[in-house]
Amino acid sequence: MAPANVTIKDVAAAAGVGVATVSRVLSGTGSVAPATRERVLAVAKELHYRPSALGRSLKTQRTGSVGLVIPDVSDPFCAEFTAGVLACARNLGEHVTLDVSHDEPAVEAEIVDRMAEQRVDGIIAMPARGAPATWRAVTRMGLPVVFAGRSVDELPEIPVVLADEAGGVRSVVEYLVGLGHRRIAFLGGRAEVTSMRLREEAFRLTLADLGVSVDGDLVVRARPTRDNAYAAAASLFMRRPDLTAIVASSHQLGEATVLAARELTLRIPADLSVVVIDDVPWAELCDPPLTVVARPARDMGYRACEMLLRAPDRRENRPVVLPTELVVRSSCAPVRAVRGAR
């Protein structure tokens, strides 16, 4: 009734054949007499035989599983990215082992070590800063790795899938300037995070390109905690009531921006145009719906997985950059003459 573990030997014995024959039948390789094949299949079903992936993997040296390391499942971008990885993995017949690093290098190292012991076929990661040693160790043992969303400067040899952060910011700034805005604030994240730095740089650069002088006072940075971001946004609004638009550099900072504006009864977009980088579901639900720069989270996951599993030999040496999209909704308006005037 409840046979603990039925192995290939049991099947072979019950069918009166050798284990090699059973293996051939089940894996479809080699040639087997039709009658034998039927019998083996019948017996296997009868006994509820499930081949053990452990035995197989030990022999074949492939586990059919990929490791995925992200900072946080609850983050909508990470979740969507994960969905993409899962979709691709399924198509390619792999399964996914997931773990979260909370962006702590020590935790990340532990996870990656474990995955290496687990002999995953490869690892996809949004790497935390500051732990190149672990990654070096793991690639040295021949384990394929693909980074996504962030690159690590110390590890240029690891293939990476990125979003076109700079392009996204550029289109935002062009859009806002086109609406007549000149005093545009930028609420950024910590400069140590590559993508944050990229966004800020693109902001300054584009403004300069458009001949709008960059007011350093309008570029502020905040840690992505709720309180810190809120405080940064609120103090910016108090200090510079003359600003007409703001670019929030992450969805957390976007939340803070909207909340702070609401608290100070700044009307969006009448008093203040707002753009958030990263699309999240609530951006559309917000009143008014928020104009955002959307990164193709799902595609990035799919693509990263594909890069990992297909042709791990001929790696892309240059980052694969996927386009971002400026999703125009209703949080930006042309600057009003009275405010926009010098």
Partner DNA sequence: CGGTACGATGGAATCGTTTCCATAGTGGAC
Partner DNA sequence: GTCCACTATGGAAACGATTCCATCGTACCG
* Furthest C-alpha separation in the chain: 93
Residue count (the chain): 342
Task: Report if residue 51 touches DNA, rule: CB under 7 A.
Answer: yes
**116/214 with CB nearer its own copies:** 116
Query: Considering CB distances under 5 to 8 angstroms, the limit depending on partner class, which of its own copies, DNA, none binds residue 9?
Result: DNA
Task: Report if residue 118 touches DNA, rule: CB under 7 A.
Answer: no
C-alpha span between 336 and 244 (Å, rounded): 9
User: How many helices and strands, by DSSP H and E, does the chain display?
Assistant: 14, 12
Helices 8-15, 19-27: crossing angle, 10 deg rounding: 110
**52/334 with CB nearer its own copies:** 52
Of the ranges 10-18, 137-145, 187-195, 326-334, which one interacts with its own copies (CB under 8 A)?
Answer: 137-145
Please state whether 218 falls in left (phi above 0), alpha (psi between -120 and 50) or beta.
Answer: alpha
Per CB under 7 A, the list member of 24, 150, 182, 183 interacting with DNA is 24
**140/314 with CB nearer its own copies:** 140
**209/263 with CB nearer its own copies:** 263
Number of residues that bind its own copies (CB under 8 A): 54
C-alpha span between 244 and 24 (Å, rounded): 71
Cα 25 to Cα 5, 19, 34, 55, 314: the distances in Å are 20, 10, 10, 17, 34
Q: Quick check: bond before 288 cis, omega within 30? A: yes
**83/205 with CB nearer its own copies:** 83
Task: Report if residue 255 touches its own copies, rule: CB under 8 A.
Answer: yes
Three-class secondary structure assignment of 104-122: CHHHHHHHHHHHHHCCCCE
* Least distance CB 77 / its own copies (angstroms): 10
* Least distance CB 100 / its own copies (angstroms): 6
**60/330 with CB nearer DNA:** 60
Of the ranges 7-15, 162-170, 172-180, 221-229, which one interacts with DNA (CB under 7 A)?
Answer: 7-15
C-alpha span between 91 and 89 (Å, rounded): 5
H/E element, 68: strand 65-70
Task: Report if residue 31 touches DNA, rule: CB under 7 A.
Answer: yes
Instruction: Specify the residue for token string 């976007």.
Output: 254
Task: Report if residue 65 touches its own copies, rule: CB under 8 A.
Answer: yes
* Least distance CB 46 / DNA (angstroms): 15
Write out the two tokens for 66.
Answer: 């990929």
Residues 57-86 that bind DNA (CB under 7 A): 58-61
List of residues 6+ apart from 188 with CB closer than 8 A: 196, 199, 200, 203, 219, 220, 221, 222, 249, 253
**60/235 with CB nearer DNA:** 60
Please answer whether residues 100 and 72 qualify as being in contact, where contact means their C-beta atoms are separated by less than 8 angstroms.
yes
* Least distance CB 133 / its own copies (angstroms): 12
Task: Report if residue 86 touches its own copies, rule: CB under 8 A.
Answer: yes
* Least distance CB 26 / DNA (angstroms): 6
C-alpha span between 111 and 50 (Å, rounded): 29
Q: Which residues bind its own copies (CB under 8 A)?
A: 1-5, 48, 50-55, 57-58, 61, 63, 65, 72-74, 76, 79-80, 82-83, 86, 90, 95-100, 113-119, 137, 140-142, 255, 258-259, 262, 280-282, 285-287
Q: Which residues bind DNA (CB under 7 A)?
A: 5, 7-9, 16-21, 23-24, 26-27, 29-36, 49-52, 54-56, 58-61
